[in-house]
Amino acid sequence: MNEAIIVIAFVLWYTFSLVISETTGVKRKMGREWAFFFCMIFSPLIGFPVVYFGKKKIKV
Instruction: Answer whether residue 28 is part of any domain.
Output: yes
Instruction: Answer whether residue 60 is part of any domain.
Output: no
Instruction: Answer whether residue 33 is part of any domain.
Output: yes
Instruction: Answer whether residue 21 is part of any domain.
Output: yes
C-beta contacts of 28-32 below 8 A and 24+ residues apart: 28/52, 28/54, 28/55, 28/56, 28/57, 29/54, 29/55, 29/56, 29/57, 29/58, 30/54, 30/55
Q: What is the pLDDT of residue 43?
A: 92
Instruction: Work out how many domains the chain is built from and give that number.
Output: 1
pLDDT tens across 2-59, in order?
Answer: 899 999 999 999 999 999 999 998 888 888 999 999 999 999 999 999 999 988 888 7
Structural domain for 11, as ranges: 2-52
Instruction: Answer whether residue 41 is part of any domain.
Output: yes
pLDDT beyond 80 at 60? no
DSSP state for residue 55 in the 8-state scheme: P
Q: What is the pLDDT of residue 10?
A: 95
Instruction: Answer whether residue 59 is part of any domain.
Output: no
Instruction: Answer whether residue 12 is part of any domain.
Output: yes
Contact 29, 51 (CB under 8 A): no
Q: What is the pLDDT of residue 3?
A: 94
Q: Which of 38, 5, 41 is nearest to 20 (CA)?
A: 38
